[in-house]
Structure 1
Amino acid sequence: MTVPGDTAVLDDPVAASLHGHHAHLARRLGGAVTYVPDVATFSAVAAGPDAAAWADLAGLLGGGAFADLFSCPVLPPPDWPEVFVLEGRQMIWTGDDHPGALDAAPDAGIAELGAEHVPGMLALVERTRPGPFRPRTRELGTYLGVQDGDALVAMAGERLRPPGWTEISAVCTAPEARGRGHAVRLIRALVTRILARGERPFLHVAEANTGAIALYERLGFTTRRQVTFRGFRTP
């Protein structure tokens, strides 16, 4: 396939999502925007932010609050204490253009997760720590899962939605269910759905997670760029 030319929106995918597909899940103040607290922690500021934009974000979040800037290309003022820094990479889909070629039965044993599954989703996240996940995170897009009896043992879903793209996120499997191919089938099922609606999949992964990077490469993802994830505390 040909990699789509409009990858610039992926340079600041949080801002592109909050001002676009996820505008209904956003809170805004001046030059700052963030997700509704129960949905996600991510925030963004206007391009080329000045002191006023950072003051807007502090006002939006409150004093001494956590400001998750994800891979924001700019840094806040020096009086914002750093909470964490994590090196990672952004990967984009460069695999097969035809969803049906991914798997003869990509949805076998896979179910779409609804509001009734939230307790199980939160319990699985607590056990596996795939990244930020909140009670309303599933409202960002489609989440798919694999059940073993009454227990949710694997899931993956859609998170950021910059124009023309959908991020695959929250890929996780309970320890007792690993080695059964659940993650592969879930990712393939999501890729199929994303491509079918004319968008492209992308994802983010920690640089230290070499096993996940190798898996994503085998499935058809290619590294677009290195990123640094950062969180701060508002003054």
Structure 2
Amino acid sequence: MPAEPTSADWDDLARLLGRGALADLFTAPVTPPADWRNVFDMAGFQMVLSRPTWTPAAQGTAADRGASNTTGRGAASALNREAASAIGREADSQAECATERRAERGTGSATECGADPTAHRANSVADGTTDRGADPTTLRPNRETDGTTDRTTDSEAEPRADRAKDRGAGRRADPTLDRGADFAVAELGRADVPDMLALIDATRPGPFWPRTIELGAFYGVRDNGALLTMAGERLRPPGWTEISSVCTAPQARGRGLAAQVVRAAADRITARGERPFLHVVDTNLDAIRLYERLGFVVRTRVRFHGYRVP
């Protein structure tokens, strides 16, 4: 869409997508006509790979490496400090609640802690997709039940990292990222699309359709034939490639599999001399932790929004 779309532009988009289809406007700063029903509207972050915590298959050009260390450094540092603070507050809240529960055991009462990290909004800032800490005044998602509207599960739920390590200046590689090393990462093709669509339907990481695989390389991990995790390429502005559709089957989470496929995608991107980036919603703290442990940093806040074509 152009920066200032006309009614004719919206009519063209409606004809292209078809009545009842989802128009994923992603981060475009445009507002559709009043009869386009909002499906989701949520805050998130765009993160870029700055300093990988693994040894990439290719490092790119010297100029590209220099850009990685300088582009948006000041803004990203401030946003990531806010993000670390937000996750620290969430962990403090959990620890306090756990202490209260232990104290209440003798009284026969029990207090349930809000253990789901996606239930906490980060008051700091990392597409599709994670700068931590979004503006708490932004709209929360108005989800539907189809697989195109829920961006809150971009990644598997990874074990919590030690907060001091996460916030330390000299970040070290997290050994939990290698838990999936025993599983072979393979490039996915057209024959894998039915299994990819089934995994998307089970995890709902965001828009993915039968031809999405044509946008770039996708990687996955199988166990006894079952596709457990995947990630691949989508948006490709000059010099950059987005890592998207990061998802892991519920029964396979916590094994480091998402880290494996994200690294495979990032290696391929850097081998072309490009830089990887991704998006994440601000409530998906587990995904944010994972991406930060891999070396991604917050670049900017973004807004995800989509509408149903009348």
Identify whether the pair has TM-score above 0.5, normalized to the shorter chain.
Answer: yes
Indicate the structure with greater helix content: 2
For residues 193 and 108 of structure 1, the distance between their equivalents in structure 2, rounded to whole angstroms, comes to 19
Is the counterpart of residue 74 in structure 1 residue 30 in structure 2? yes
Kindly tell me: are residues 128 and 70 of structure 1, through their superposed partners in 2, closer, same or farther at Cα, counting changes over 3 Å? same
Gaps of 5+ in 2: 60-172
Structure 1 residue 48: deviation in Å?
Answer: 2.3
Gaps of 5+ in 1: 1-44
Deviations 1:74-120 (A, max 9, x none): 2123343322212211111112497248999x896111111111121
Structure 1 residue 213: deviation in Å?
Answer: 0.8
Is the counterpart of residue 54 in structure 1 residue 10 in structure 2? yes
For residues 57 and 125 of structure 1, the distance between their equivalents in structure 2, rounded to whole angstroms, comes to 25
Aligned partner of 1:200 among 265, 271, 275: 275
Aligned counterpart, 1:183: 258
For residues 20 and 258 of structure 2, the distance between their equivalents in structure 1, rounded to whole angstroms, comes to 37
For residues 230 and 131 of structure 1, the distance between their equivalents in structure 2, rounded to whole angstroms, comes to 11
Aligned partner of 2:56 among 96, 99, 113: 99
Structure 1 residue 189: deviation in Å?
Answer: 1.3
Matches within 5 A, 1:85-234: 85-96=41-52, 99-100=56-57, 109-234=184-309
Structure 1 residue 215: deviation in Å?
Answer: 1.1
With normalisation by structure 1, the TM-score equals 0.73
Comparing 165-174 with 125-134, greater Cα deviation is found at 125-134
For residues 217 and 181 of structure 1, the distance between their equivalents in structure 2, rounded to whole angstroms, comes to 14
Answer with 1 or 2: which has the greater Rg.
2
% identical aligned pairs: 59
Is the counterpart of residue 83 in structure 1 residue 31 in structure 2? no
Q: Which secondary structure state, in structure 2, belongs to the residue aligned with residue 111 of structure 1? A: strand
Structure 1 residue 205: deviation in Å?
Answer: 0.6
Contact 1:145 1:154 in 2 (8 A): yes
Structure 1 residue 50: deviation in Å?
Answer: 2.6
Structure 1 residue 62: deviation in Å?
Answer: 3.7
Aligned residues: 191
Q: Which secondary structure state, in structure 1, belongs to the residue aligned with residue 210 of structure 2? A: coil
Structure 1 residue 125: deviation in Å?
Answer: 1.5
For residues 5 and 197 of structure 2, the distance between their equivalents in structure 1, rounded to whole angstroms, comes to 35
Q: Which secondary structure state, in structure 1, belongs to the residue aligned with residue 258 of structure 2? A: helix
Deviations 1:183-222 (A, max 9, x none): 1111111111100101110111111101101111111111
Q: Which secondary structure state, in structure 2, belongs to the residue aligned with residue 176 of structure 1? A: helix
Aligned counterpart, 1:7: none
Aligned counterpart, 1:27: none
Kindly tell me: are residues 178 and 163 of structure 1, through their superposed partners in 2, closer, same or farther at Cα, counting changes over 3 Å? same
Structure 1 residue 59: deviation in Å?
Answer: 3.2
**Structure 2 residue identity aligned to 1:90:** Q
Aligned counterpart, 1:32: none
Contact 2:269 2:275 in 1 (8 A): yes
For residues 3 and 12 of structure 2, the distance between their equivalents in structure 1, rounded to whole angstroms, comes to 14
With normalisation by structure 2, the TM-score equals 0.56
Q: Which secondary structure state, in structure 1, belongs to the residue aligned with residue 26 of structure 2? A: coil
Contact 1:107 1:189 in 2 (8 A): no
Contact 1:95 1:221 in 2 (8 A): yes
Indicate the structure with greater strand content: 1
CA RMSD of the aligned region, Å?
Answer: 2.6
Kindly tell me: are residues 162 and 218 of structure 1, through their superposed partners in 2, closer, same or farther at Cα, counting changes over 3 Å? same
For residues 240 and 10 of structure 2, the distance between their equivalents in structure 1, rounded to whole angstroms, comes to 27
Deviations 1:18-45 (A, max 9, x none): xxxxxxxxxxxxxxxxxxxxxxxxxxx1
